A and B are shown apart, each in its own frame.
Chain A
Amino acid sequence: MNTKTAACQLLVVALVAVTPVFAQWEGYPTPAIPRTPDGKVNLNAPLPRTPDGKPDLSGIWQASRGAFNFASGLRRGETVPFNAEGKKLFDERQANNSKDEPSARCLPSHIAMRNQLNTPFKFAQLPGVTIQLYESRSTFRQIFTDGRPLPKVDWPTWGGFSVGRWEGDTFVVVTTGFNGKTWLDQAGHPATDAMRLTERFTRKDFGHMELETIIDDPKVYSKPWSTVAQFTFRADTELLEFICEENERDSQFMIGK
């Protein structure tokens, strides 16, 4: 046995010895990410960029503080600028414990809220399109970055139609074409087919991203309003399956007031 062979065998033995057993991919080390000497992801490392110099948002992200009430991200001192119709809807839903929220029956949550749930999503930033894969309900969205305009919508949808562009290091996503069937959130904030949704994603460094979400929906709010949420990069995990329809039993037991 020559020296190289012996070294190779030693390496194999060493690798086998230190490789833990992972359940599915939970805990499997995410490759090619910066790590600290103790092996943890280095959240404070510089943000990665694509060959064209733009920040690369790719990876798994999760809200640092999961939310069910979109207004929880309001800046200090700000309130939701309901108009009369919006306030009426919100108050009715609150009084009824939000029992009629479509998402409880496994219909889609609002795209604006889905980012901020207690489950992660994955950005895949490709030339011409950035894809968002949500663990929530195993859903996805395409954000086109090839310069196309927002479409003239003749079939409004639950998630609308999204296009993205860069403003400096901020990825700006505009979405219209909603069908208005889902609520903005479980708290009962309304959302209609007139909404123009703007999301401003700014990756600060390797492990931190900020999102400003601007709700412009004149049917239920008197002026545009916005919230801010923070996200953390999630290493060493992958998206898991979530098929809501499998065993949904809650909606039959929900009671209003």
Chain B
Amino acid sequence: MKRTWQWIVCGVGLGVWVTATLALAHHSFAAEFDSTKPVTLKGTITKVEWTNPHTYFHVDATDENGKTGNWAVEGGAPNVLYRQGWKPDTLKIGDKVVITGSRARNGMNLANAISFVLADGRCVFAGTSGPEGTATECGTGGRGARGRGAAPPQN
């Protein structure tokens, strides 16, 4: 029950964040991703690219429709994530994650990340709560609420 509640709080927080930060990227968000097409990916990290202008987290995953594949998930720029507590090894190859995000408009297995939830329930709020954050922190005040998450800030 507690876990369910954490998910709800996390989700509400993410919704607020998405509204506030769409299109804050080094590029136009709308040209590449479709915020009306959310995706949830459950799987295992296969590759991490801590690179500019965006980080990429590759994951062997199953989407909400049960379809499996290897996805590239775009995260925020390293400088912004770093200031918010991320490190190059915050997510590692082999980590089990649940990623929420927006699908690419071109239909490829490409998404823009909103959040990463680790196997132990920590909601890595894409740069806001930092890797030590919990699901509850993701959705409530303080660090989680002012977020510029995995979605890329303009840089």
State which of B24, B49, B77, B106 has its C-beta within 8 Å of the C-beta of A253: B106
Determine if B118 is an interface residue (Cβ-Cβ < 8 Å): no
Q: How far is the CB of B111 from chain A (nearest CB, A)?
A: 11
Contact B104 A253 (CB under 8 A): yes
Known contacts A186-B154, A247-B54: does B83 contact A254 (CB below 8 Å)?
no
- Which of chain A's residues have a CB closer than 8 A to the CB of B77? 242
The majority secondary structure among interface residues of chain A is: loop
Task: Count A/B pairs, Cβ under 8 Å.
Answer: 106
State which of B54, B74, B82, B105 has its C-beta within 8 Å of the C-beta of A240: B82
Of chain A, the residue at the smallest CB distance from B148 is: A118
- Which of chain B's residues have a CB closer than 8 A to the CB of A91? none
State which of B26, B82, B83 has its C-beta within 8 Å of the C-beta of A250: B26
State which of B24, B52, B108 has its C-beta within 8 Å of the C-beta of A68: B24
Count of A interface residues, CB-CB < 8 Å: 37
Map CB proximity to A onto B62-91 as digits: 1 under 8 Å, 0 otherwise.
000000000000100111101100010000
Question: Which A242-257 residues sit within 8 Å CB-CB of chain B?
Answer: 242-251, 253-256
Known contacts A106-B53, A247-B54, A248-B53: does B31 contact A119 (CB below 8 Å)?
no
Determine if B28 is an interface residue (Cβ-Cβ < 8 Å): yes
Distance, CA A204 to CA B150, complexed state (A): 33
Q: How far is the CB of A14 from chain B (nearest CB, A)?
A: 27
Q: How far is the CB of B136 from chain A (nearest CB, A)?
A: 24
Determine if B12 is an interface residue (Cβ-Cβ < 8 Å): no
Distance, CA A64 to CA B97, complexed state (A): 33
Determine if B56 is an interface residue (Cβ-Cβ < 8 Å): yes
Q: How far is the CB of A158 from chain B (nearest CB, A)?
A: 16
Distance, CA A247 to CA B51, complexed state (A): 6
Determine if A136 is an interface residue (Cβ-Cβ < 8 Å): yes
Question: Which B98-138 residues sit within 8 Å CB-CB of chain A?
Answer: 104-106, 108, 110
Determine if B155 is an interface residue (Cβ-Cβ < 8 Å): yes
Distance, CA A47 to CA B110, complexed state (A): 48
Known contacts A242-B52, A243-B52, A253-B110: does B31 contact A96 (CB below 8 Å)?
yes
Contact A241 B79 (CB under 8 A): yes
Known contacts A97-B30, A242-B155: does B104 contact A26 (CB below 8 Å)?
no
Q: How far is the CB of A47 from chain B (nearest CB, A)?
A: 25
Determine if A217 is an interface residue (Cβ-Cβ < 8 Å): no
Contact A247 B31 (CB under 8 A): no
Of chain A, the residue at the smallest CB distance from B23 is: A68
Contact B52 A23 (CB under 8 A): no
Contact B27 A251 (CB under 8 A): yes
Known contacts A66-B154, A242-B77: does B82 contact A98 (CB below 8 Å)?
no
Distance, CA A75 to CA B25, complexed state (A): 24
Contact B56 A98 (CB under 8 A): no
Contact B32 A240 (CB under 8 A): no
Map CB proximity to B onto A131-154 as digits: 1 under 8 Å, 0 otherwise.
000011100000000000000000
Q: How far is the CB of B68 from chain A (nearest CB, A)?
A: 22
Distance, CA A253 to CA B103, complexed state (A): 12
- Which of chain B's residues have a CB closer than 8 A to the CB of A255? 31-32, 105-106
Q: Give 20 CB contacts A-B under 8 Å.
A: A23-B87, A68-B23, A96-B31, A103-B27, A104-B26, A106-B53, A117-B155, A118-B154, A118-B155, A119-B155, A240-B79, A240-B82, A242-B77, A242-B155, A246-B53, A247-B49, A248-B52, A253-B105, A253-B108, A254-B32
Given contacts A68-B24, A242-B78, 7 further A-B pairs with CB under 8 A are A68-B23, A96-B31, A118-B80, A119-B153, A246-B53, A254-B27, A255-B105
Instruction: Please name the 10 residue pairs, one residue from A and one from B, whose CB atoms are nearest each other, closest first.
Output: A104-B27, A247-B51, A97-B31, A118-B153, A98-B28, A254-B31, A99-B31, A240-B79, A97-B30, A246-B52
A-binding residues in B (CB < 8 A): 23-28, 30-32, 49, 51-54, 56, 74, 77-80, 82-83, 87, 104-106, 108, 110, 148, 153-155
